[in-house]
């Protein structure tokens, strides 16, 4: 197991020679489930110090200790893209958060719209999904999941310079024109509506924003989770870190 196949997020500083304590639940996973013993190697990241190879220095049922060896990846902060979405059914909401972390969103903002069923979210559970997705996808950054915010309140304090990409079946803008290269490097947000879409009032409000960009995602109606991945793909390809 010198290959370090385990990749773990820890809420602890990382650096050469830095000892990292292992809490009970992670000890269960590392030493129980994965059966790592002293001398085994793992990869650690904390969202700030990049990725580090670390060695197990103490393995116990209720805890243990790791020691950082060397940095295997620098911190790679994704482009300044927020994914703003209306929570849907539990499994699909989890999916959207997972996908947003994989696709490289810098921040994930659950939003309550007129047609949103959910009036609350479990922010801690969604944040844990984002961590797990980062562990899985090899990212060194974990997007922050915000608390649920109402559409009107979100737009009332919307930063003027943050561009909005929003998908509307009714009005079709060319992706190439809307995501033109001179908008690279600016702050952006992708808005994904709930099942049933945004209300007419919300749609008008979004379109009135000076930095709103409307595109189409084809002739079929995409589910919210599909639309989130599709819109982020086009954005990452045009303006993000895919090229």
Q: Write out the residues near its own copies by the rule CB under 8 A.
A: 76, 95, 98-99, 102-104, 136-139, 174-175, 216-223, 226, 229-230, 232-234, 236-237, 240-243
Rounded CA separation 21/12 (Å)? 8
Closest CB to its own copies among 141 and 151? Answer: 141
Q: Smallest distance from the beta carbon of 85 to its own copies, in angstroms?
A: 15
Q: Smallest distance from the beta carbon of 158 to its own copies, in angstroms?
A: 26
Q: At what angle do helices 123-137 and 90-103 cross, to 10 degrees?
A: 40
Q: Shortest CA distance to 59 belongs to which of 92, 88, 33, 22?
A: 22
Cβ contact 213:164 at 8 Å:
yes
DSSP letters, 157-226, are T--TT-EEEEE-SSS---HHHHT-GGGTTS-EEEEE--TT---HHHHHHHHHSTTEEEE---SSPPPHHH
Q: Is 155 helix (H, G, I), strand (E, B) or coil?
A: helix
Closest CB to its own copies among 31 and 141? Answer: 141
Closest CB to its own copies among 157 and 243? Answer: 243
Closest CB to its own copies among 48 and 233? Answer: 233
Rounded CA separation 144/81 (Å)? 12
Q: Smallest distance from the beta carbon of 7 to its own copies, in angstroms?
A: 10
Q: Smallest distance from the beta carbon of 225 to its own copies, in angstroms?
A: 9
Closest CB to its own copies among 79 and 87? Answer: 79
Q: Smallest distance from the beta carbon of 216 to its own copies, in angstroms?
A: 7
- Quickly tell me which residue has 């650096």 as its tokens: 15
Closest CB to its own copies among 5 and 24? Answer: 5
Closest CB to its own copies among 64 and 143? Answer: 143
Rounded CA separation 91/144 (Å)? 19
Q: Smallest distance from the beta carbon of 183 to its own copies, in angstroms?
A: 17
Rounded CA separation 180/165 (Å)? 12
Q: Smallest distance from the beta carbon of 89 to its own copies, in angstroms?
A: 13
Cβ contact 97:108 at 8 Å:
yes
């Amino acid at each position: 197991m010198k290959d370090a196949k385990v990749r773990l997020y820890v809420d602890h500083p990382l650096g050469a020679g830095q000892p990292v304590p292992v809490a009970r639940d992670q000890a269960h996973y590392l030493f129980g489930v994965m059966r790592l013993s002293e001398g085994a190697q793992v990869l650690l990241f904390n969202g700030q110090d990049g990725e580090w190879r670390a060695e197990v220095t103490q393995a116990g049922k209720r805890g243990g200790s790791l020691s950082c060896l060397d940095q295997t990846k620098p911190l790679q902060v994704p482009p300044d893209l927020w994914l703003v979405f209306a929570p849907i059914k539990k499994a699909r909401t989890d999916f959207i958060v997972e996908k947003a972390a994989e696709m490289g969103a810098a921040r994930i903002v659950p939003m309550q719209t007129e047609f949103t069923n959910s009036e609350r979210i479990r922010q801690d559970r969604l944040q844990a999904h984002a961590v797990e997705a980062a562990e899985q996808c090899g990212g060194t950054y974990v997007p922050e999941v915000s608390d649920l915010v109402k559409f009107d309140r979100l737009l009332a304090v919307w930063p003027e310079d943050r561009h909005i990409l929003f998908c509307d079946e009714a009005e079709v803008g060319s992706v190439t024109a809307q995501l033109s290269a001179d908008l690279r490097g600016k702050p952006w947000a992708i808005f994904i509506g709930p099942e049933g879409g945004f209300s007419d009032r919300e749609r008008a409000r979004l379109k009135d924003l000076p930095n709103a960009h409307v595109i189409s995602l084809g002739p079929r109606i995409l589910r919210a989770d599909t639309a989130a991945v599709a819109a982020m793909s086009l954005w990452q390809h045009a303006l993000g870190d895919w090229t």
